[in-house]
Amino acid sequence: MKLFANIISTAFHPLLMVTYGTILALSFTYLAIFPMMLKLYLLAGVVLCTVLIPSVVVYLMVKSGAAGDLDLTDRRERVIPYLMFITGNMLCFFYLSKMQMPVWALTMFTGASVALFIALLINFVWKISAHAIGIGGLLGAIMGVAHSQLMNPYWLFIAVFIVAGLVGTSRIILEKHTPMQVYAGFVLGFLCTFGASFMNIIYLLIH
């Protein structure tokens, strides 16, 4: 059971959620008409900013003894990684804006950054599940984009709900988080990214 939980935790690591969301947007929205080379450029920038750079920082922290393990079990070790991930998200925002990505896509990065900033503040007093924030944020982003684009990918909603349950259960099985830490993380991630989708509506009304 713990092996399966480890596989799920790795496959749906919080650092990968933005990449998964970007792949979905490039595959199932009108962005799918983009040339493959442009899609790869966009995805490469996302992976560099939100996966590779934060991963290197965490690895160096573990190698230097600043962190005990790659999971950053001690919440006090999570401050720098949170700051790096927030920075990566904002770099991604500016990179994609330069690539003239639509506002509805950019707002998802804003929502993710807000969720991470709130998680950073919470982290000073309480350990909240970053995995749950990630999968909750992905679900919120999917629902937000679907709402703004008048889509109804119900099969995708169901799939991500199932994955969210597996991720939360895995973190509890591995004794990395309590149920409340998982629930709080999921709600935080979902509300921030779904709420950010309404920024697109405000933008459209203004313009």
Residues 6+ away with beta carbon under 8 Å from 12: 131, 134, 135, 163, 166, 167
Instruction: Identify the segments of the chain with pLDDT beneath 50.
Output: none
Contact present, 55 and 97 (Cβ < 8 Å): no
Of 111, 167, 123, 160, nearest to 139 by C-alpha is 160
Closest to 191 measured CA to CA, from 106, 94, 119, 86:
119
pLDDT (0 to 100) of residue 204: 59
What pLDDT, on the 0 to 100 scale, is given for residue 205? 62
Distance CA 173, CA 153 (A): 30
pLDDT at 33: 94
What are the tokens at 20? 């998964």
pLDDT at 200: 67
- The per-residue pLDDT for 170 is 96
CA distances, 158 to each of 166, 186, 205 (Å): 13, 16, 31
Q: Alpha-carbon distance 187 to 204, whole Å?
A: 27
* The pLDDT value given to residue 113: 93
End-to-end CA distance of the chain: give it in Å, rounded.
Answer: 52
Which tokens sit at 18?
A: 């933005």
Give the separation between CA 145 and CA 106, rounded to whole angstroms.
Answer: 11
Percentages of the chain per state (helix, strand, coil), in multiples of 5: 80, 0, 20
What is the structure's pLDDT at 201?
A: 66
pTM: 0.93
- What is the number of helices (H) and of strands (E) in the chain? 9, 0
Return d(Cα 60, Cα 58) in angstroms, integer: 5
